[in-house]
Structures are given as structure tokens and as C-alpha cells.
Amino acid sequence: MAYVYPNCVSVVLWEGGRIRLNPDQKWPADDPFVTARPEFFSAEPRMVASSPGYAPVERATAAPGETRRARRPKQSKPAAQADSSESNE
């Protein structure tokens, strides 16, 4: 059975009643409300749960044969050097 997921938080009037939609719900794709109002649903869930503290880790080094381009920020002159160079002119 295929499922779809609401893409919004909403209360929709339908056939004399109210349908409450929340992105953490899972609906059968062949449900009469889903087929009548497909604009409220998507094939993929809008929110995906993960364990607390999970974050993907970036690679700090380049893979063999991979080149990376990084620019180092220009360092500005310290304020004391800038003032003394202006006064010598």
C-alpha cells in the first residue's frame, strides 16, 4: 500500500466535517479525501525525524585526485600600523 503525507498544518472542511492535517501523519494514497484534495499531500514526508545530536560530518581533507579551492581572507593592517603610515605621509 502506498502512503502520502500532508504538506501543511490545516483544518479542512470536507463533506460536512473537519479533517485535521499535520505533517507527521501518514495517509493511504487511495483514501477518498486524499484523492479529492491532492494539493494537501506529497509523496515524501515534509519532516524526517532523527536522533538528538545527529549532524552529518563534513570531510576535512580532499579525496585522492580531488582539488579544493578555498580563499583565505585578507588580513587587514592593525589600527596602530594604519595610523602611523598615514601620519608619515
8 Å CB contact between 11 and 21: yes
What's the domain range around 32? 3-42
Report if residue 72 sits inside a domain. Answer: no
- State how far the Cα of 25 lies from the Cα of 39, in Å rounded to an integer: 15
- Residue 22: name the closest of 11, 33, 9 by CA: 9
- How many CB atoms sit inside 10 A of residue 23's CB? 13
Q: Is 25 part of a structural domain of the chain? A: yes
The answer as to whether 66 is a domain residue is no
Number of compact structural domains in the chain? 1
82: confidence class by pLDDT, cuts 50, 70, 90: low
Flag whether 71 is in a domain: no
Decide if 73 is inside a domain.
no
**pLDDT score at 86:** 56
Could you tell me the pTM of the whole model?
0.52
- Cα separation of 40 and 7, whole Å? 6
Q: What is the pLDDT of residues 44-81, one digit of tens each?
A: 887 676 677 767 777 777 778 877 777 777 777 766 55
**Would residue 15 count as lying in a domain?**
yes
User: pLDDT tens for residues 19-49?
Assistant: 999 988 999 999 999 999 999 999 888 767 6
Counts of helices then strands in the chain (DSSP H, E): 2, 5
